[in-house]
Homo-oligomer: A and B are copies of this chain.
Amino acid sequence: MDAVGNHLIVELYGCNSTIINDEKRIEEILVQSANIANVHIINSTFHQFNPQGISGVLVIAESHFSIHTWPEYSYCALDIFTCGNVFNIDKSLDFIKNAIQSTSISVTELKRGVKNFLQ
């Protein structure tokens, strides 16, 4: 089905707790993953929580990447929302998984705004 948006809902388990509690590292990883996907970053915002955890968002010309990390659970919730032709999401996601040393991943792909049913 043709849709305006493609949304990956990604659960990343067994991550390296030190890496996913490092704001600068998480930002670098997301920016590099966006470069691998060949998407265009418009703006970004990252925040380190106390005592732990990071939230980060890249707004891209093609929609957004977001990540929320729970170092205490070695878990990250990642969303990759794209529109238009984005061809290297698999490589981008593989890069993130390896960079945060996740041992287990779940990916659900959603179509957003199925065109047949839009006005």
Contact = CB atoms under 8 A, between A and B. Distances in A.
A1 interface: no
Chain A interface residue bracket vs B: 35 or more
Contact of A57 (B9, B14, B45): B45
Contact of A14 (B5, B43, B45, B119): B119
A117 B103 CA distance: 13
A95 interface: no
A57 B47 contact: no
Interface in A30-81: 42-45, 47, 49, 55-57, 59, 61, 63-64, 66, 68, 70, 73-75, 77, 79, 81
Given A57-B59, A119-B13, A113 B64 contact: no
A113 B70 contact: yes
Contacts of A119: 13-14, 73-75
Interface in A82-119: 83, 110, 112-113, 115, 117-119
